[in-house]
């Protein structure tokens, strides 16, 4: 990949290793910038290179601590806008607040829409993200928004490491069926669904498995793993129905609280996540958690955006 003229890549503090890997793919060193804190924890940004008239891409996941990383993104956008950058693209591998995409009850916010407004008002001209929790969030932005998919990357890893004849793709809940079906189609595998339901208030959830998983290597597919409880319970339900083994392929490894310990102690053979969120030390040393890099996928999407080529054709 030759260096794309006019491209500048700026990294916040949320996932600098991923930004560096994207830069390496594009053979473009990161633009020198300082993103630091004052004594009272206010964020200060200084772009230390000329960006006037440039096509600039900010790589910043809004992962934990979500609000700090979101503010970094907004302030970097403002700094670039005031530095006369020609076009500012916010590359957000993990879009925080995406699970608040609708009103969950009376007098509750739609925080994903608020965040979209903030990013737009800060000066972003376009947004690029990966496996949005809800596709309709693209419509919350009034600027061009590309939602990339990790499915090609996950499918390749499954084909390289497993006997496809024994594989069955499983959605851990009814809401994730579309995502699981898309991956199953890529690897020509069958699909099963874990249907969770609580028969009566106060009783534990009952896991109903829809599909014959006996003797199959089951692969749970989802966009986010947070506490890990759903995955662990789904794995136990599948094994109880005769599955040979259970692994999981999840795009965003939020893994909050005691999730890593829960996954490590579970019957999951393997959890495969991407580096859309910077892996913690606990994730890196966990015996059954593995990380795939999305740097080449995002790098190629940036290259195509910069040269006005099709991004959607990446997923055909």
Q: Which residues partner with 291 through β-bridges?
A: 273
Q: Count CB-CB contacts under 10 A for residue 270.
A: 16
End-to-end C-alpha distance for the chain, whole angstroms: 21
Ligand-binding site membership of 136 (annotated): no
Ligand-binding site membership of 146 (annotated): no
Could you give the count of Cα atoms lying within 13 Å of 185 in the half-sphere of its Cβ?
A: 9
Ligand-binding site membership of 275 (annotated): no
**Residues marked as catalytic:** 196
Ligand-binding site membership of 300 (annotated): no
Ligand-binding site membership of 100 (annotated): yes
Lay out the sheet containing 145-148: strands in order across: 7-11, 55-59, 87-92, 126-130, 145-148
Could you give the count of Cα atoms lying within 13 Å of 118 in the half-sphere of its Cβ?
A: 17
Lay out the sheet containing 217-225: strands in order across: 206-210, 190-197, 167-171, 217-225, 245-253, 270-274, 289-292
Ligand-binding site membership of 99 (annotated): yes
Q: Count CB-CB contacts under 10 A for residue 175.
A: 11
Ligand-binding site membership of 166 (annotated): no
DSSP secondary structure letters along 50-78:
--TT-EEEEE----SSHHHHHHHHHHHHH
Q: Rounded to whole angstroms, how far apart are CA atoms 273 and 254?
A: 10
3-state secondary structure (DSSP) of residue 96: coil
Ligand-binding site membership of 133 (annotated): yes
Q: Rounded to whole angstroms, how far apart are CA atoms 246 and 125?
A: 42
Ligand-binding site membership of 262 (annotated): no
Ligand-binding site membership of 173 (annotated): yes
Ligand-binding site membership of 229 (annotated): yes
Q: Rounded to whole angstroms, how far apart are CA atoms 30 and 179?
A: 33
Q: Rounded to whole angstroms, how far apart are CA atoms 8 and 10?
A: 7
Ligand-binding site membership of 60 (annotated): no
Ligand-binding site membership of 299 (annotated): no
Ligand-binding site membership of 188 (annotated): no
The set of long-range contacts for 289-292, using a CB threshold of 8 Å and a minimum separation of 24, is 289/253, 289/260, 289/263, 289/264, 291/253, 292/153, 292/154, 292/157
Question: Annotated binding residues, as ranges?
Answer: 40-42, 99-100, 133, 173, 198, 222, 226-230
Question: Annotated binding residues for Mg(2+), as ranges?
Answer: 133, 173
Question: Annotated binding residues for ATP, as ranges?
Answer: 40-42, 99-100
Question: Annotated binding residues for D-ribose 5-phosphate, as ranges?
Answer: 198, 222, 226-230
């Amino acid at each position: 990949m030759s260096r794309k003229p006019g491209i500048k890549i700026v990294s916040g503090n949320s996932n600098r290793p991923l930004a560096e890997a994207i830069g390496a793919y594009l053979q473009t060193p990161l633009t020198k910038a300082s993103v630091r804190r004052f004594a009272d924890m206010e964020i200060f940004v200084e772009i230390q290179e000329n960006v006037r008239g440039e096509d600039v891409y900010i790589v910043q996941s809004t992962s934990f601590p979500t609000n700090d990383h979101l503010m970094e993104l907004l302030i970097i956008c403002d700094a670039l806008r005031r530095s006369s950058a020609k076009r500012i693209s916010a590359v957000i591998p993990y879009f925080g607040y995406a699970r608040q995409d609708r009103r969950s009850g009376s007098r509750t916010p739609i925080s994903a829409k608020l965040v979209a407004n903030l990013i737009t008002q800060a000066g972003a001209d376009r947004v690029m993200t990966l496996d949005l929790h809800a596709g309709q969030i693209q419509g919350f932005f009034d600027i061009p928004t590309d939602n990339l998919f990790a499915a090609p990357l996950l499918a390749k890893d499954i084909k390289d490491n497993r006997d496809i004849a024994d594989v069955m793709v499983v959605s851990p809940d009814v809401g994730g069926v579309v995502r699981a079906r898309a991956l199953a189609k890529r690897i020509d595998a069958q699909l099963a669904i874990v249907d969770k339901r609580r028969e009566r208030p106060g009783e534990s959830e009952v896991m109903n498995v829809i599909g014959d998983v006996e003797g199959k290597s089951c692969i749970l597919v989802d966009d986010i793993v947070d506490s890990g409880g759903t995955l662990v319970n789904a794995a136990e339900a599948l094994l109880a129905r005769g599955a040979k083994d259970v692994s999981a392929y999840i795009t965003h490894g939020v893994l909050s609280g005691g999730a890593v310990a829960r996954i490590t102690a579970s019957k999951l053979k393997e959890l495969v996540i991407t580096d859309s969120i910077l892996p913690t030390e606990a994730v890196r040393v966990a015996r059954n958690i593995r990380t795939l890099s999305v740097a080449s996928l995002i790098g190629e999407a940036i290259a195509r955006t910069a040269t006005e080529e099709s991004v959607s054709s990446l997923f055909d």
